């Protein structure tokens, strides 16, 4: 069994997919990481690039129609077979080289969950609107679950795979992030945090204001109904 499964959900990421694959490749090969790419019904050539990639080092799964990021992550988790699992977005906002730092910390501390926090160094990152949105949702998370995390919405959630598989995740869209965090905290699992780099995309986020509302609803739902 390898130590890490890296799940890359993709939907119409032809502009950046080759870059992220080439960045992940040496890390995966050097460390014997399992890489699972889940194409969520792309129609811009992303799937064809992945399908025809030479010297394929990753497992490619595909949804015939777009089903949402949450569904893609759940599909990846179903196929994950390593001790830990982490998500890597395909838009180059996060540095895959920093995954090793999170993994080594998890191994050293025997931690169930280690998050890469974009805000732990107290520097504002990204647009002001999304920064405030993240702060608000993280504040609500801490209020509901009596935690002290700084970045609930981070993509870099490194979690023990066996724990992830038992969370019974249901989210289809971006509310998968608060669902994972809320269910970990409700189980009493300690979430460790380490600061990471973050480079917000210039073309604008796929996340909309309504996704923030769905995230809030998900936090309350897990708190009340589990």
Interval 121-163: pLDDT, tens: 755 566 777 788 899 999 999 999 999 999 999 999 999 999 9
- Backbone dihedral angles phi then psi of residue 150, each to the nearest 5 degrees: -115, -15
CA distance linking residue 37 with residue 16, whole number of Å: 14
- pLDDT at site 92: 87
Average pLDDT taken over every residue of the chain: 93
Three-state SS for 91? coil
Main-chain dihedrals φ then ψ at residue 80, nearest 5 degrees: -70, 140
Residues sharing a CB contact under 8 Å with residue 133, sequence separation 6 or more, in sequence order: 209, 212
- Which pLDDT value is given to residue 165? 98
| Gap between the terminal Cα atoms of the chain | 31
pLDDT tens column, 80-124: 999 999 999 998 899 999 999 999 999 999 999 999 999 987 555
Segments in 32-174 forming alpha helices (H): 46-51, 69-79, 99-109, 128-145, 161-165
Is CATH 3.90.550.10 what the domain over 4-225 is classified as, yes or no? yes
SS3 197: coil
Angle at 95 between CA 92 and CA 98, to 5 degrees: 160
For range 19-44, the mean pLDDT: 97
Q: What is the pLDDT of residues 174-215, one digit of tens each?
A: 999 999 999 999 999 999 999 999 988 755 456 677 888 999
Place of tokens 């910390």: 105
Q: What is the pLDDT of residue 206?
A: 60
pLDDT exceeding 90 applies to what percent of the chain?
84
Query: Which H or E run contains 9?
Result: strand 4-10
């Amino acid at each position: 069994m390898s130590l890490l499964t890296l799940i890359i959900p993709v939907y119409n990421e032809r502009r950046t997919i080759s870059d992220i694959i080439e960045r992940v490749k040496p890390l995966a090969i050097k460390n014997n990481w399992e890489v699972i790419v889940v194409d969520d019904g792309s129609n811009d050539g992303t799937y064809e690039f992945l399908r025809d990639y030479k010297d394929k080092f990753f497992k490619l799964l595909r949804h015939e129609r777009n089903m949402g990021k949450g569904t893609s992550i759940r599909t990846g988790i179903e196929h994950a077979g390593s001790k830990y699992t982490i998500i890597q977005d395909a838009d180059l906002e996060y540095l895959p080289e920093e995954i090793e730092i999170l993994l080594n910390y998890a191994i050293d501390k025997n931690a169930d969950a280690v998050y890469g926090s974009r805000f732990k160094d107290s520097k504002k990152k990204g647009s002001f609107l999304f920064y405030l949105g993240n702060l608000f949702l993280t504040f609500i998370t801490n209020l509901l679950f009596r935690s002290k995390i700084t970045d609930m919405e981070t993509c870099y959630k490194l979690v023990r795979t066996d724990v992830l598989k038992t969370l019974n995740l249901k989210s289809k869209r971006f509310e998968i992030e608060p669902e994972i965090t809320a269910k970990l905290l409700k189980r009493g699992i300690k979430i460790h945090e380490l600061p990471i780099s973050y480079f917000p995309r210039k073309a604008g986020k796929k996340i909309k204001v309504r996704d923030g509302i769905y995230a809030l609803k998900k936090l309350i739902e897990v708190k009340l109904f589990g």
